[in-house]
Amino acid sequence: MNAMVLTSRFLSVILAAALWTGCTGDSEPPSQSGSPGDEPLIVAIDPPDGSADVPTGASVGVRFDMPMDTASVASCFFLSGGEPMHAWMDSLGHHRGRMGRGMMNMGHMMAWMDTLCLPGVLHWNERQDSCYYSPRHSLPPLTDHMIYMRGTIRSRQGTRMDMSGYPNGGPMSHFRTGR
């Protein structure tokens, strides 16, 4: 089944193409600081959710509305693709109704996701509100890919991003590479 069909659209606030991001998994629950409403927000992801014909040499980018704690973003960002990603998505879909109720080992799911993350290098702009992830190798052609962020993403001031409104515990976006 096509990965784009498997997910909900989460980027209602997409404004423009952005710069891109990094890989690994983090489950550290640091304390929340800042005032309500000061949480960082994703302004754009590039390529946007549902994009097709994305060049195989493309980078993947994320833009936030404020400077970020770059290590927290890197530890919560995943870029994966192909059949292994579809298997992970299928497994997540089977447990979607149970997530948050303690019926699923999300640590196991994230450890699995870590093994699927495409290797590359994370680059930040000077303001540290935009980043792009350059995969070590070209992305495979005609392949579905997923950008997923889950865990504790913080602003430079330490305020946690609110992930409670996302169906899978964090923003998820899909794109397909061209030839």
Task: Respond yes or no on whether the N-terminal peptide bond of residue 40 is cis (omega within 30° of 0).
Answer: no
Q: Give percent above pLDDT 70 in the chain.
A: 69
**CATH number for the domain that contains residue 135:** 2.60.40.3710
pTM, 2 dp: 0.72
Q: Which two tokens stand for residue 16?
A: 């423009």
Write the DSSP assignment of 48-77 as a string of letters. PTTEEEE-TT--EEEEESS-B-HHHHHHHE
Per the structure, the count of domains in the chain is 1
Containing domain of residue 45, as a range? 3-177
> What are the tens digits of pLDDT across the range 45-96?
999 999 999 999 999 999 999 999 999 999 999 899 988 888 877 876 555 4
**Euclidean distance between CA atoms 41 and 18, whole angstroms:** 13
Query: Residue 37: pLDDT band by 50, 70, 90 thresholds?
Result: low
